[in-house]
Amino acid sequence: MLEAKAYGASSADANFGEMTIDRRDLHDIDVKIDILYCGVCHSDIHAKLNDWGNAKYPIVPGHEIIGKVTEVGSKVSKYKVGDLVGVGCMVDSCQECSACEEDMEMWCENGSTSTYNSKDKFLDGHTLGGYSTTIVVREEFVLSVSEDLDIKAVAPLLCAGITTYSPLKHWNIQKGDKVGIVGLGGLGHMGIKFAAAMGAETVMITTSEEKSKDAKRLGADSVIISKDKDQMKEHNNSFDFILNTIPVGHDVNPYLALLKRDKTMCLVGAIEPLENVHGGNLILRRKRLAGSLIGGIKETQEMLDFCAEHNIVSDVEMINMQDIDNAFERVQNSDVKYRFVIDMESLKS
Amino acid sequence: MLEAKAYGASSADANFGEMTIDRRDLHDIDVKIDILYCGVCHSDIHAKLNDWGNAKYPIVPGHEIIGKVTEVGSKVSKYKVGDLVGVGCMVDSCQECSACEEDMEMWCENGSTSTYNSKDKFLDGHTLGGYSTTIVVREEFVLSVSEDLDIKAVAPLLCAGITTYSPLKHWNIQKGDKVGIVGLGGLGHMGIKFAAAMGAETVMITTSEEKSKDAKRLGADSVIISKDKDQMKEHNNSFDFILNTIPVGHDVNPYLALLKRDKTMCLVGAIEPLENVHGGNLILRRKRLAGSLIGGIKETQEMLDFCAEHNIVSDVEMINMQDIDNAFERVQNSDVKYRFVIDMESLKS
C-alpha cells in the first residue's frame, strides 16, 4: 500500500482537513502520477455536502487532475516516467460492454468507476480523488496532455472541458452554425471557447448585462439578455443548437423557442427537475430537449488535442489546498472566473 | 360562391347545429370534393370549446376528410372527376419557404392554412372544415386514396395516422427495433399498427390492464403496465424509441427511464406543460425528449400508400352527423375504439 497526503472531509458537516490516505501499489497496468494541479468542480461540493445522497466518507474530491508520471507498470505502453498526463471523472470501467466498446465508458453497463466516491475495485472501500499528492490509475484512463499549453489551466478541461466539447461534437457543430450558450460559469465559458473554435456563430444567452463584455472576450460573437423578451423574440426559431449550462432546475421554454425546427437544446448542468416543460414547444417544429454527460476517454483525448491545436485552456484562479473551504463558498456564490485550480505544491510542502 | 351544408357551432357554449356555409367557386388550381366521411379528432373538441383561445365562430371542424372528386380546375393535373381523395389538417401554405420546399408545409414560415379555424386566403373570414357536404381545396393539398381499403376507416389516417407515422419514419424505425407506444387511444392504436408493420418489436405501455388484450389484437407484441414499477424497471434502458400519445400533461420521467442511451421519446399528444421533467433523466445516457406534429403532404401521401400496401386502416365507429355532441362527450371520456367517423350521407339526406 502506498501512502499519500490528501485533503478531505470526514462527514457532510465537517470542514476539509489534511489526511493520509492509501493508494494501491502499482499493478502492471497502472500509471502512478504525482499530482501538480487539480480543478475544483461544483460536483465536488455536491459530493462533500451529500446533496445527491450517495456520499461516502471520508470523501476526497477532485476529478480534474494534471500531473507527471512517476512510475509505470510492466504492461503500460502509452506512458513513461516524466510524461505530462491528466485524469478526469473516471478511473475504470468494464472495458467489455457495448458502451465501453463504443468508447462511452461513462455509460458502462456494468458501472464505470468514478474518480472519487465510487466503489474501489482494487482496495476495500471507495475511490479517493485528486485533492491529493499522488494517484494510481490504470493506463486506459490516463490522458496525454500537451506541454505547450498553460498546464494549470488545462486541469478544468478534464471535466468542464469535455462536458461542453462532447455535445458540441455529438450534435456536429459546423462552421456557420448559430450556437447559443446559456449560462456563463465554469461550463459556459468553455462552451463559448469551443463553439467559437469550431467556427460557429457563438451567442451568449445570459440574464446578466454585466457578463456581456466577458462573454465577448471569451469568443462570443454576440449576447442576448434572456430577461429582455423582445430581444429573445427577435431570435425565435433561429438557433442550430443550444448548450444549456445552467446548473439548477429552471424554465427551459424560452430557450426552446429559440431553436430552429428539428434542432436540439442540450442540458449539461441541471441534474434536477425542470419547471413545466411545455409539450407544445417540442411538438411545434419537432424540437428536441436532450442531455449529455462528460464524454468517453477517446473523446476526452480528442478534446485535449483540439485544445492544444487551438490553444484553448480554461480561465482559472489558482488557490492553495488550504483555501478550499473559501473556494467552495465562492463557487456556490458564482464568484469565480471561471474555475478554481488547486496548486498541489501547497499540500506537499 | 358555392353553398354547402355543414354542421357547426356559433359559439363555444352552443351545441352543434346544421348551417349553410359558403365554399369558394372553383379556381383553376382547385379540386371540388363531395365529402363521404369525416373523422372526429380530439382537436375538433378543443377548437369548438375554444380551449386554445383562438377559436373563430361559426366553427365547422373536421380535418380527416374522405370524398370523391366532383369537379377540377383547368390547371389541375393530378385528379379527375370520380377519384377517391382525402384532405387532412392543412389546405394551403406559401409553397415557397424553406419548410415548404422541404415538404414540411405544417411548419410553413409564412403560416400554413389549417383546414378549419385558419384565415381563409380566398374568402373573407376563416376556413371551415369537413363536417360538411362539400369542400374546395387546391390540388397540392389533396391526397390520393386507394379504393382497396375500407375507405370510411381511412378518414382518421389523415390526422391520427400521419401524426403517428411521421415520427416513426423520422426516427427511422427499422425491423427489430424495440418501440414503445404510450397511451392507447386514437393516436396510440395507429402507432401500434404502424410500428408493427415496420417490423418493430412493438410494446404497448399503458396504465390499464384491460387494454392489454386489445393492444395485442392491434399488433403489439407485448404490454407493460406502467403502474407496475417492477415491470417498468425490467425494461429500463431497453427501448430504441418511444411514441408518447398521452393527450395531457403528465410525468414523463418513468418513460424516459425506459430508453436506451442516445434514444428518443417523441410526444405527439401533450400540447401542454409536462410535470417536472428531470434533467438527470436526459443527461444520463444522453437521452432525448422530442415532439412531432402531423406531417407534410408528401409524407401524408407516403403514409396512405404504406397503408394501402400493408392493409392498414383505423378502427372506427360510424356515426351520423346529428350524433356529434354525444360523440364529443364520449371522446372526452375516452369511450371510443378508436375513432368516430361521420357518415356524411346523414347530413345530405
Sign of the dihedral defined by the CA atoms of residues A174, A180, A182, A184, in that order = positive
Q: Which of B160, B151, B114 is nearest to B343 (CA)?
A: B151
Please, are residues A114 and A91 in contact by the beta-carbon 8 Å criterion? yes
What are the CA-CA distances from residue B34 to residues A162, B4, B6, B65, B292 (Å)?
61, 10, 12, 10, 31
How many interchain CB pairs under 8 A, A with B?
A: 112
pLDDT tier for residue A124 given thresholds of 50, 70 and 90: confident
Residue A126 cell numbers, joined: 471507495
d(CA A196, CA A177): 10
Which of B54, B250, B281, B286 has the most A C-beta neighbours within 10 Å, making it the best mutation to test the interface with A? Answer: B286
Cβ within 8 Å, pair A270-B279 = yes
**Mean pLDDT along residues B83-90:** 98
Q: Which residues of B touch A277 (CB under 8 A)?
A: 273-274, 277, 289
- Note the pLDDT tens digit of each residue in A189-218: 999 999 999 999 999 999 988 889 999 999
Give yes or no for a contact between A39 and A187, defined as CB atoms under 8 angstroms apart.
Answer: no
Could you tell me which residue, B260 or B209, shows the higher pLDDT? B260
Q: Which whole number is the average pLDDT over B52-69? A: 95
| Domain ranges within chain B, ordered by starting residue | 2-159+315-348, 160-291
Q: Tell whether the model's pLDDT for residue A166 goes beyond 90.
A: yes
CB atoms within 10 A of CB A174: 12
Cell of B345: 350521407
Are A293 and B272 within 8 A, CB to CB?
no
pLDDT-based confidence at residue B209 (cuts at 50, 70, 90) = confident
The values of phi and psi at residue B151, to 5°, are -70, -30
Bridge partners of residue B92, in order along the sequence: B113
- Taking only residues 98 to 117 of chain A, the set having a beta carbon closer than 8 angstroms to any beta carbon of chain B reads 99, 104, 107
- Of all helices (H) and strands (E), which one includes residue A37? strand A30-39
Q: What was the pLDDT predicted at B13?
A: 85
**Which residue in the set B107, B272, B290 is minimally distant from A288, CB to CB?**
B290
Q: What is the pLDDT of residue B208?
A: 84
pLDDT, tens digit, 9 for 90 and up, residues B290-320: 999 999 999 999 999 999 999 999 999 999 9
Among B272, B255, B171, which Cα is nearest to A283's? B272
Q: Which CATH class is domain A2-159+314-348?
A: alpha beta
- Position A1 scores a pLDDT of 83
Work out the average pLDDT over A267-295.
94
Minimal Cβ distance to B286: which of A273, A286, A293: A293
Looking at residue A102, its pLDDT comes to: 96
Closest CA to B33 of B145, B118, B157, B122: B145
Residue B51 has pLDDT above 90, yes or no: no
Q: Is B307 on the interface with A (CB under 8 A)?
A: no
- The pLDDT of B248-264, averaged and rounded, is 96
Neighbours of A266 (CB within 10 A): 24
Cell of B25: 367557386
Alpha carbon B212 to chain centroid, angstroms: 23
The pLDDT score that the predictor gives to residue B12 is: 84
- What letter would DSSP give residue A139? G
Tell me the pLDDT tens digit for each residue of A13-50. Answer: 888 999 999 999 999 999 999 999 999 999 999 999 89
Contact criterion met (CB < 8 Å) for B274 and A276:
yes
Q: Give the contacts of B327 (CB within 8 A, at least 6 positions apart).
A: B40, B319, B336, B340
Summary mean pLDDT of chain B: 95
pLDDT surpasses 90 at B77:
yes
- Averaged pLDDT, A110-135: 95
Residue A27: count other Cβ atoms within 10 Å of its Cβ.
Answer: 14
User: Which residue is associated with the grid cell 410525468?
Assistant: B251
Mutate to test the interface with B, among A286, A292, A294 (most CBs of B within 10 A): A286
Of A104, A107, A289, Cβ closest to residue B288: A289
pLDDT at A15: 86
At the second CATH level, the architecture of B160-291 is 3-Layer(aba) Sandwich (3.40)
Domain B2-159+315-348 in CATH 3.90.180.10: yes
- Give the integer Cα–Cα distance in Å for B307 and A193: 50
- What is the mean predicted confidence (pLDDT) over B241-270? 96
CA pseudo-torsion sign B255, B258, B264, B266: negative
Partner residue opposite A107 with nearest CB, options B269, B270, B285? B285
Q: Is B272 on the interface with A (CB under 8 A)?
A: yes
Its ipTM equals 0.93
Nearest CA-CA distance, residue B4 and chain A, Å: 33
pLDDT of residue B236: 96
- Give residues 165 to 184 of B whose Cβ lies within 8 Å of A: 170
First to last CA, chain A: 22
Percent of chain A at pLDDT exceeding 90: 90
